[in-house]
């Protein structure tokens, strides 16, 4: 798995709305949060996505972009985003190409369907890699801490 100090792979993909997501362009605006999650509509993944949704305005005010990635289809992502009013891009990784590029593996070395969040700086370097399978709040707290360090301000608590 990519760890802090490693270069994150850039990618260009269509999101669940059919919009082009180019991470190199997003990074020009500010830090990038990429979170891999196991499955749409499951309790933990819904909780995690909603935590990022609830912090989305805070992130936007700091020029932080957010992308969620799972192996679900674009259609599933569209229903998931609509039901929970998710304002950020959701990307389908059915062939686990992005999971492989980021080194996101389940136990026994199988790619995909693991809960890992990366904070990537404007130069494309991983600044944080949060891998807490059961604590969705740990992902948000880790992102806030990393963004605070990047922007040289204390992380907000909630």
**pLDDT tens for each residue of 16-29:** 999 999 999 999 99
Q: Which pLDDT value is given to residue 114?
A: 83
Rounded to whole angstroms, what are the CA distances from 122 to 7, 64, 69, 119, 137? 11, 10, 20, 10, 24
- Of the pLDDT bands very low, low, confident and very high (cuts 50, 70, 90), residue 32 is very high
Q: How confident is the model at residue 106 (pLDDT cuts 50, 70, 90)?
A: low
Q: Where are the domains of the chain?
A: 12-151
pLDDT surpassing 50 at residue 158: no
pLDDT of residue 43: 94
Mean pLDDT of the chain: 91
Give me the pLDDT at residue 155, please: 53
User: Which of 45, 49, 129, 150 is the catalytic position?
Assistant: 45
Band (pLDDT 50/70/90 cuts) for residue 105 is confident
Residue 40 predicted with pLDDT over 70: yes
Rg of the chain on CA atoms, in Å: 14
In percent, the amount of the chain with pLDDT more than 70 equals: 91
Instruction: Count other C-beta atoms under 10 Å from residue 115's C-beta.
Output: 22
Q: Which among 104, 96, 100 is positioned nearest to 131, based on CA atoms? A: 104
Residues in CB range of 74: below 8 A, 6 or more apart: 14, 15, 16, 18, 92
Identify whether 50 is a catalytic site residue: no
Q: CATH classification of 12-151 is 3.40.30.10, yes or no?
A: yes
Looking at residue 107, its pLDDT comes to 55
For 66-78, how does the pLDDT look when each residue is reduced to its tens digit (9 = 90+)? 999 999 999 999 9
């Amino acid at each position: 798995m990519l760890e802090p100090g490693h270069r994150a792979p850039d990618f260009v993909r269509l999101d669940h709305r059919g919009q082009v997501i180019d991470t190199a362009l997003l990074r020009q605006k500010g830090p990038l949060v990429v979170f891999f999650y196991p499955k749409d509509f499951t309790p933990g993944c819904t909780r995690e996505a909603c935590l990022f949704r609830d912090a989305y305005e805070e992130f936007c005010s700091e020029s932080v972009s957010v992308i969620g990635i799972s192996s679900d289809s674009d259609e599933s992502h569209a229903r998931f985003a609509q039901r929970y009013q998710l304002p950020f891009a959701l990307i389908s990784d059915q062939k686990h190409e992005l999971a492989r590029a980021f080194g996101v593996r389940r136990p026994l070395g199988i790619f995909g369907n693991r809960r890992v969040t990366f904070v990537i700086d404007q130069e494309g370097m991983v600044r944080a890699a949060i891998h807490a399978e059961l604590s969705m709040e740990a992902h948000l707290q880790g992102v806030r801490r990393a963004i605070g360090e990047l922007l040289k301000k204390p992380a907000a608590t909630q």
